Amino acid sequence: MFFFLRFTLYSLFLVSAPTYGANSLERTLKYEVRLALFNAGDLEFSWSSSSLGYDFFGEFKTSGVIDRYYSWEGEFAGMGVYKDDWPSTINYYSRSRSKDHELKIVLLSPKGVRLLESGSNEFKDLARPAGDDLVSALFFSPDCYRGKYLNDGEDTFEIQLLKRLDLTVKSSKTSPAVKCHYKVKDYKGRTRRLNVELDKTSHGVFASKIRVKLALLPDIVFKLKEIG
């Protein structure tokens, strides 16, 4: 039954996706995710872009020692258009499952949000949260994100750009990059610091490293290891 539901959701999500045509740019990005000295998992994106808009599909699953204590796997997809070269979310989808087998599915569209959680057989209708989705804004923006709000498809996060630094990347495959220092407040009022490095490569502009600073815990680091 779940396979049928998942297939149906994909069909509804993708039916409105833009047609990119011959001039579209398509890439696969693979990230290593670390918590202190431990490999916490792997994150992989398929990303497409053209003058008409963009879309992406991503998957993440915990691994190693982290997976023993906090198993989590999820997938997410998004599509949108560019407004003055900045990604702007139209639709967003996410599905996640935790160690306790708790399932959550989120569908965001211009009409609002539909949420399905474990223990329920029906979607709940919610108001659309403010801002663009986290993935579009942090992984695929051409520069430091200057909006005031982000969302994960369900909840709104306040974001403030604290500092922007120009970097020189010592690699023949990349050109100068920028480092963005943010302060992020979630819907519960908790504040986190977030650092994002954006590299301008021959493949496009992508986040090469994201560091999430956690209170009383080691930082979580997403590091780009491969572009295909």
Mean pLDDT, to the nearest integer, of 84-113?
A: 90
Is the pLDDT reported for residue 15 higher than 70? Answer: no
d(CA 142, CA 145): 8
Beta strands in the chain (DSSP E): 25-35, 38-50, 53-62, 72-83, 86-98, 103-109, 112-117, 124-126, 132-133, 149-151, 156-167, 174-185, 191-201, 204-213, 220-227
Mean pLDDT, to the nearest integer, of 139-149?
A: 94
Domain range for 17 is 2-227
Q: What is the pLDDT of residue 180?
A: 97
Residue 105, beta-bridge partner list: 95, 116
Mean pLDDT, to the nearest integer, of 35-50?
A: 92
Is the pLDDT reported for residue 10 higher than 70? Answer: no
Q: What is the pLDDT of residue 163?
A: 97
- Each residue of 44-78: pLDDT tens digit? 999 999 888 999 999 999 998 888 888 899 999 99
pLDDT > 70 fraction of the chain, expressed in percent and rounded: 86
Mean pLDDT, to the nearest integer, of 166-171?
A: 69
Among 21-25, 117-121, 187-191, name the one with the lowest average pLDDT.
Answer: 21-25
Continuous H helices in 51-164: 64-69, 134-139
CA distances from 225 to 42, 91, 207 (A): 10, 28, 11
pLDDT > 90 fraction of the chain, expressed in percent and rounded: 64
Is the pLDDT reported for residue 8 higher than 50? Answer: no
N residues, the chain: 228
Tally of domains within the chain: 1
Mean pLDDT, to the nearest integer, of 213-218?
A: 87
Residue 102 confidence class, pLDDT cut points 50, 70, 90: confident
Is the pLDDT reported for residue 184 higher than 60? Answer: yes
Average pLDDT, the chain: 86
Among 18-27, 93-102, 111-120, 142-151, name the one with the lowest average pLDDT.
Answer: 18-27
Is the pLDDT reported for residue 22 higher than 70? Answer: no
- Residue 78 has φ and ψ, to the nearest 5°, of -150, 160
